[in-house]
Structure 1
Amino acid sequence: MTRPQGLSARLKLTFSYAGLVMLAGSLLITVAWVFALRWLPNSAPMKGAKPMAPDAPGTGGTTPIVLILGPSRSDLMRGFAPAAAVAVLALLVLGLVGGWFLAGRMLAPLTRITEATRQAATGSLSHRIELEGSNDEFRELADAFDAMLAQLEAHVAEQRRFAANASHELRTPLAVTQSLLDAARDDPHRDTARLIERLHAVNTRAIDLTAALLLLTRANQRSFAREEVDLSLMAEEAAETLLPLAEKRGLAIETAGGVAPAVGSPALLLQLATNLVHNAIVHNLPGRGTVWVSTEAGPDGVGLTVENTGGHLAPALVATLTEPFQRGTERVQNDHGGVGLGLAIVKSITAAHDGTLALAARPDGGLRVTVRLPSARRFPASDAAEARYVPTALLVSR
């Protein structure tokens, strides 16, 4: 938008300071003028004598009264007016000069913030203002701007990593497909059924990856309708859906908890629960592992916790598991290994529902993932305790 060039903020503040000084000085001079005029006569008194009563009984005479010649209003006009004009002029100069320096000092932090904003607009997000001094309005603005730049820098770095990883992951099935087709073209007697089976597996993986990317984008954009959803039912449905996979791996799934009403998208929250249970099954101890799924509700919100047995995880590794295409200690390449977006999607869905996600390594091995969402209703203390400990289902399969 093209806007006309106006006065700078520093010049406006300078005029404001000068005008305030002029106003205060003019009021003071006016008060002094009015006070002086009130006690001065219109003209100066004259010196002389006045007959008086006899000074003593039986004698007569006069006592002279000397009248001191004092200033009159006309004298005040001749002497006070030029001095007042000089004083007003001095106040004007002092207001302009002092106001200019004061305005520059006050606006110095704003200049630094403006410079940082221009650098950020050019793509440089590493610059920080780091304003010194006491905690005033400018300091709060600078700190908030620094925090925003830090979040933007982290978000941009995450998006770049995601784009690079997504490109690599999407390129892999295409490259495999191209290799299979080239091999089949060079070998006319190649087993067609096996080729079709491998192409089908590769194509399925590409479709799953594309669907996961679309789901992740949908969660990030928050483009979904909100309604009341029982998080415990979502967890139970996810456990029942993935029970055959747990049976195939010889794992046990145990679910417990109570009603956990949240507000959000049923499809996305079901996907969240499914991803958590699936991740707990895949990264487990084959033949002797367990998955625990529990829900709770309380005054501070509702929660879904999924734990699983497994190998010991370092805290540094746990902190990266929610990043896209992270699969733990090793990249799982099988029919149920996923595409590396499970916990990334969980993180995005949780953020889209204004919730929190916490990951922690279990002391005995494995992972504990806790999702907390705002509750759709208020729970009294007694109802919250009851909802926290009532079991809903128990699925055990070996």
Structure 2
Amino acid sequence: MISPQLTEHRIPADAFDELAGGAGGAPAVGRLVAAQYSKHLLLVRGVLDAARRAGHARWAAARRAYDLLAAVQAHHPEAVAAVLRHPSVGAWARHAVATGEGIERFASLAAAAVVRAGVTCEVDVPVTGGVVTLPSLGQVTLPAECAARTATATVHSAPGGAEVGVEGLAVRIGGAEPGWTGLRSLSAESDGRRFRVLVDDLDPHRMPGSGNLGGRLSEPEAERWRGVLQEAWDLLARNHPRVADEVAAAITVFTPLAPPERGLSSATSRETFGCVALSTPPDAQTLAVTLAHETQHAKLSALLDIVPLTRPDDGARYYAPWRDDPRPAGGLLQGAYAFLGVAGFWRRQRHHESGADAVSAAAEFARWREAARVVSGTLLTSGSLTAPGERFVARMARRLDEWRREPVPAAAATIAREAADRHLTSWRERNGELPAPVAPVA
């Protein structure tokens, strides 16, 4: 069996309260990361068990792949962990358990681990649409004449390298070899803090349910991402070091999205912990605040796998000052927690700006602290929170109340209030009079 043996994951009360206040730091995030790895191990085992119970035609092959992963892990645990932690593995496993589809991808996980470990081994892997996907590594694209005739290829691994073979054709894995497309990495370092992510623009499970996935980044686009990331990391490490530590601990993968008409699109998924999907960042500050925002989502999603904070959806829908549609309590909590992080970002960043930029930053702080506090009040009176959820949101509200007592320039307060009023008016025109926002206690 793939080890380590799974244990119950708990969040100590002090770490829970730190997370509820919007922070937590790298130690608390580390607990969440460990729990997510256990979740992936359970899901992978679940795929095997579900296939066995269903008498799936691929059950025996899945068992061989699982046993191979366990054997490789005994001597190269880091290679297996690198594969099984990869965000798309969680999405694939969840899908396979739920539907019984894609069981054959088990062999691709084993092959990726074998290649990473550099052990001598051969693994038969599926060919889908003429492509062999090795999660966390990349893809081999077979010539059309081969792809049309085969559903299986063989990964040949050895200490000196690996290749994918089919019908006498061999495609070398790695580098700029013809037929091979590898995941690229981006890294940044500043003030002794380092951040490294893979850009997964290939895996079919990289962001399930997204309707605006981008394609493969061109080399110039990848270089632009590198440059903006370094600038954003400089900003985070210098002005928001605790956020930088949380980002580095939680986020391991970027997945490109198609560009919106303006600005930046971004998303996270509970199924792909560690992945942030985003369009090309227009500038460093936008990327920095996006990383702060999406890391909040990742933290909360991971925490929800350990501690339920909301009750089952009862059909009630509420106003969210950052959305055009009514939201259930679970979605409302996600948004409030993310914008608690956004408010914290601008609370700090306003002191590093000057002139009109300082006013703009203060306006962002004022708007989002108020928005997150309004929604916290809505949640606390909704009846939709569990007992831990009430404690969590009450702690959020106390932090936001502390921030609401901090003065901002009159011009910034006016900008924030007018933006909030415009959004609420537009929302009511679109959705009617659902329950009004709950005003926070002054």
TM-score, structure 2 normalization: 0.21
Larger radius of gyration: 1
Greater length-normalized contact order (CA 8 Å, ≥ 6 residues apart): 1
